[in-house]
Structure 1
Amino acid sequence: MGHGIAQTFAQKEYSVTMYDTHHSILEKAISQIQSNLDTFIEAGVETEESIKKVLSNIRISLDLRSAVKYAHFVIEAAPEDLMLKMNLFAEMDRYAHEDAILASNTSTLPISKIGKKVIRKERLIITHWFNPPHIIPVVEVVRGEATSQEVFEISYRLLEKIGKRPIKILKEIPGFLINRVQPAMFREILSLLELGVATPEDIDLGIKGSFGLRLAVIGPLQTMDMGGLDLMYKGMKYLYPFIDRSIEVQKILGKKIERNELGLKTGEGFFQYEQKEALAQYRHSKERDKKLLYLLKTFSE
């Protein structure tokens, strides 16, 4: 996620410093950005000349102090490990300028917990990006208990300035907005698989070729309005008792993990993939990004 976020700012002519403790990870990040930009060239979004400028806006650092010392806006994109993030934020708070905004890209954790060791809690915010961050327009902006209104508004406007479509999350709850809706769908899909209602192929095709296609144009609440809230109410009242309401993750997923069928990275998940992990991930991400860039043109109109 970090490299895609850095790329987005660099494309809008901001100077960006990427930090990590391992040089190999930073080298890989630059390589991924180059690959992303090549895809943008193929899609007509960037030119050979413009990507040179983008890459010149990015530097790398193995030293956190120097990476954040002069930064106005710092985004953490570390793994979802609370203690790791807490310690990282404590360090960023110590090294960053007193007016710097410290943002987390966490997908589930509240900023009030992440920033527990931070002194300037009013400078904390969550900006939750979605994969691939250099393409997906929406970013959730989540304020913490102590986040100032100024920091909330500055973060929102900055995201707008770099071409994103930020949404304000007005309450700090686990998962925020999108990552509460997605698992609800995943839970029902896994339940349908366990019940043998349909194959993985037909489930994915069914969703992509129906409401999945429609959602980029008409949102779920607009869909309800268009269908008629009275009719929606009747349909929901009938179906709700049959929809999975379990609080435990379905066994089908646990069994996949036990068999090391972890998806693309192991060559098999619900589908089978090429055994060469790096090549498979490269091809799938390239294909995905080209299609998303095409859809983004429609979404932006």
Structure 2
Amino acid sequence: MRKSLLRMTLRQLQVFQAVCESRSYSRAAEEISLTQPAVSLQIRQLEALIGQPLFDYIGKKLYLTEAADALLRASSDIFGRLESLDMQLSDLQGSLQGQLNLAVESSAKYFVPHLFAAFKRQYPEVSLQLVVVNHAQAVRRLSANRDDLLIMSQVPQDMSLEFLPFLDNPIIAVAPPEHPLAGQANLMLQDLCTAPLLVREPGSGTRKAIEDYCHQKRAHFQQTIELGSMESQREGVIAGLGIALLSRHAVRRELESGALRELPVKELPLMRSWCLVHPRGKYLSPVAQTFFAFIRAERAQISGLAARFGAVPG
């Protein structure tokens, strides 16, 4: 090993991670309570130890070099090991403590807080840091080893991953109750194609699954309206902009209140599985190991929670 690497400090790595996260020296300085010159100094010292530049400026944007990508993976592993040590020391004192860093695709964000609440009842000293992402962002976070675990559907087949399917995610068609289709029975997907379809942004796993499924069923919508989130899709349907294919979890309350109507489409719901995912060979902290074991073992609890959301256990 290069002796210069042994002179790196944890503080330098914290500053480096902050710059990588914010892609800005000034924003990183604000986040970690340093001045911008102090951040610049720490990065210059780190670059001297590495022997390579860590960032490139193109225009006014900051980009990571290949050396920075490698250092980011290593620093994430170092801090993960330290956090794991803290958890293990707590475990030796008789209680599981620490933080679970969990990323979830947006369609799962309605169910996951209830899932974590069930876990926290057994392990009350565990905290949660939850990041909501779309499918493309989830894949990038997996590649960068950013999180303890991810909850996603459509697990990438070209990556070396461990995954546990644990819950089905039903995708249904919804419309406002006064929509002409809401009063019909025995619909086919092709019957919906004259209505505007509200869709998510590119990179959404739900959008990709719906597009692939509609293409398979030869259902080609004449007009689509792109909205940036599941919430805006839901509100757009309520406002009468069109119909949408959404996770039943995301519209459970609106279906119960009558604000939305599930359309009786023969080819729906489209079922996808939510999976708990991490890179194969990744060292899991005690909290992450315990959460993974909880999901694997507590199928009865998950089934009960799923029933409240109209979901089906995987």
TM-score by length of 2: 0.28
Larger % of helix: which? Answer: 1
Bigger relative contact order (CA 8 A; separation at least 6): 2
Greater radius of gyration (CA)? 2
TM-score by length of 1: 0.29
